[in-house]
Amino acid sequence: MRVTLLSLLCVVSFLGVLYHHVQPRAPLLLLPAPTSGNLRIPGIQRAATSSLHFRPAVLSHRKDFTCAHAPLRKISNSLRARSSGDTPVATGGGENVAKVQKPKEISTEWELDVYSRPVVNGGKKLWEMLLCDKTGGWQFIEQMSPDKVTSKEINRLLMKAIEDAPVKPTAIRFFRKQALSVIKKALDPLEKEENVRAIKSKTTYALFDWIRERNEKVYPFMDGYVPPKKQAKTSGFLYSRPSESLPSYLEGEDWSFSEVELGDILQNTQDMTEAGRVCEVDASIPRDTMVPGLIVYSTRARALAVALQGSCIEYGDINSVSVDEDRGEIVYEVGVEDKWRVGKLDDERLVREGAAFEAKKNELGGLHFLAIHQLPKFDLLDIVFNRKKELGDEEIEGFWLMRQGSIGWKDI
């Protein structure tokens, strides 16, 4: 009798495990898929454990899987005021100066650009190295001779900047495709000797804003200024290279488009401990603005979020989530020029909602988010008795707020 009972339990356990692997989402409460004209809006809530929580309402899903819609919970706490006090400046000679522009805590994550500027003197273009921290609160400028734009010279200037800086860098991000190899070579000694990570990235928002400012307020008033040629406006998807398959360890089990109120994002990502990064947001954008984004669902959300963040070491940062309407794909834009295919827009509803996602993102100057959301977990009894659970109370393990299409991507 005991042997028979034990054997029965083993069979039930085996069937439960098999059921879990074959149909991992079957126990979830299924509802009819929402139409694109009747989109729901999620909110974010911070739990007492300081973890991020979604009360998600799903806009669409890659497969026929949908979940119960939880009600929006708005956070009423006021946002922390951002300081905009006077700008203390450490001056030097000419343009070769280091500046501390804002009363912010200087970050150890820096952003670097080495390139020619629209100024010509004596038949030679002006070259500059621009270096700042990710807040834009610390800046370093050095003019370079066009015949000395080498990895050795860039490394020398970097060491000079590090000696003068109030903090030492732990990471330096760079986006310039044309100078990729020379910058990477200049950063190699810092990686090996100082453990400073060199990261390919287009999330260099403070640097983009600084270059835009200099393009508008500095270079036009310099002797030898040559206005750049106007580029033809393009529409649709800007990437020419086909996407690559997403590395298997970065795959989720499902995804959906969604929207979150900007005020909720800012409130709940202050002092965020989860994986991810949050960009600076233009103060003129109303805090009740709905920000479009992508939610990726996984039963191993924490591991997935950490892997996404760690992938920057080898591949570069995830810069954006985009819809390639021509190819019917949703992709991660990675590093300087790569893109990874997250999924296919393989029905009319997903195509419409992908277009709506891109339109809303463009309205907000490229602002959008990526969230990694934990799927409900089931124990053996849940699986055996086919218990249904609603999606909504699980934690968000990773959150990225990003700006796509900043000036550095196409215009500089």
Of the listed ranges 33-47, 154-168, 198-212, the least confidently predicted one is 33-47
pLDDT digits (tens, 9 = 90+) for 213-271: 999 999 999 999 999 887 655 444 444 578 888 888 999 999 999 999 999 998 888 77
Q: Choose among 20, 53, 39: nearest CA to 258.
A: 39
pLDDT at 41: 29
What phi and psi values does residue 102 have, to the nearest 5 degrees?
-135, 150
Instruction: Tell me how far CA of residue 218 lies from CA of 117, 206, 241, 350, in angstroms.
Output: 11, 17, 34, 45
Which of 28 and 246 is assigned the larger pLDDT? 246
Which of 219 and 396 is assigned the larger pLDDT? 219
Does the pLDDT of residue 69 top 50, yes or no?
A: no
- How many angstroms separate the CA atoms of 404 and 410, rounded? 11
Q: What would the mean pLDDT of 102-125 be, rounded to a whole number? A: 88
Which of 236 and 195 is assigned the larger pLDDT? 195
Of the listed ranges 52-56, 163-167, 398-402, the least confidently predicted one is 52-56
pLDDT at 294: 96
Does the pLDDT of residue 345 top 60, yes or no?
A: yes
Cα 67 to the center of its chain, rounded Å: 26
Does the pLDDT of residue 309 top 70, yes or no?
A: yes
pLDDT at 242: 83
- How many angstroms separate the CA atoms of 249 and 363, rounded? 33
pLDDT at 385: 55
353 Cβ contact partners less than 8 Å away, ≥ 6 residues apart: 36, 39, 59, 60, 257
Does the pLDDT of residue 78 top 60, yes or no?
A: no
- How many angstroms separate the CA atoms of 400 and 202, rounded? 13
pLDDT at 93: 38
High-pLDDT (> 90) share of the chain, %: 48
